[in-house]
Amino acid sequence: MSDHSGHSNTTRPAAILAGIGMMALGIFLFVVNDVLGKWLVATYSVGEVLLIRSLAAVILLVPMVWPMLRREGLVPFLDVQRPVLQLARIVCSTLEVACFYWAVTDLPLANVICFYLAGPIFVTALSVPMLGEKVDARRWLLVISGFAGVVVALQPASGEFGFGGLIALLGSFTFALMIILSRMLRGTPDLVLVSGQTVGALVFGLFAAPFAWIDPGLLDGALLALLGVVAAIAHLCVNRSLKLAPAAVVSPYLYTQIVWGVFFGYVIFGDIPDLALAIGCVMIIASGLALLVLEQTSDG
């Protein structure tokens, strides 16, 4: 589970600060994207949102993909390693984003983000059967603690737990599967992986959108397209962050998304987090950060 990012111990402070800034900006943009998505799925179907979002992302990707096509043709896209795993990753990435949009139609934004923060905990648990990695007793205790936080946040005994919670949990699980599959396919160029998951969401949208299509006005059409643009820029910020600074330094800033989720949820949608969600989120974040510390300690 080591992270060989190629950073030296003498990474310049300016580069580290820039990396932190890029990660913080990327996470902020992801939450802005989530807010836009929650706003739009109140009117448009998940299939329609994914279709227009993915079309915009494809248009943004074309200038980046075109030089590779001219240089190497379709070979990098068609002659990929382990095609079954490639397809499974595309399915997981599509299901993950669809689950997020479905979940926010039923739950406050902060709740859904909280469940998705459990992704690293799922990754640790899944790394044993899928990657053959060894997880010691301390890590298993943290995994169990993180899952307990998920249960607290879900509130299964309160009568409020329902469709949205299940869908958010499924989305978090498929997100973890996508991360595991990405590790297994680390030899595949990043551009091929991004293109595959973008096309996968586009195909899903093409099939699902016609069943509940609503013609968007000019403003809503622009906002739907903006989803793909903002998400692409956020991905670029996060990727650049990981090149500027060590992953151990910038990874904790992933958890700032819950702060933005609570803020935008209250300001835009009037959502006020309850005590169970707050406690569950703290348990999940504490477990995730402790797992990160243990991983970096063992790597050292």
CA 65/CA 54 separation, integer angstroms: 15
**Residue 120 counted as domain residue:** yes
Domain that holds residue 191: 46-213+255-299
Mean pLDDT of 202-207: 93
Would 15 be classed as within a structural domain?
no
Q: Which residue has the higher pLDDT, 135 or 280?
A: 280
In a domain, 22, yes or no: no
**How far is residue 169's CA from residue 39's CA, in Å, rounded to a whole number?**
21
Q: What is the token pair recorded at 96?
A: 């993950």
Q: Residue 97 has which token pair? A: 């984003």
Q: Which of 232, 192, 196, 209 is nearest to 76 (CA)?
A: 192
Is 167 inside any structural domain?
yes
**pLDDT, tens digit (0-9, with 9 covering 90-100), for 140-194:** 998 899 889 888 887 765 555 577 888 998 999 998 898 888 888 877 777 777 8
Q: How far apart are CA 103 and CA 112, in angstroms?
A: 7
- Residue 111 falls inside a structural domain: yes
Q: How far apart are CA 95 and CA 238, in angstroms?
A: 22
Q: Is residue 39 part of a domain?
A: no
Query: What is this structure's pTM?
Result: 0.82
Q: What is the pLDDT of residues 113-145, one digit of tens each?
A: 988 888 888 888 888 888 888 888 888 998 899
User: Predicted confidence band at 62 (pLDDT cuts at 50, 70, 90)?
Assistant: confident
Q: Which of 233, 117, 237, 109 is nearest to 176 (CA)?
A: 117
What does the block give as tokens for 165?
Answer: 């919670």
In a domain, 2, yes or no: no
Residue 279 lies in a domain: yes
Count of domains in the chain? Answer: 1
pLDDT in the model for residue 2: 38
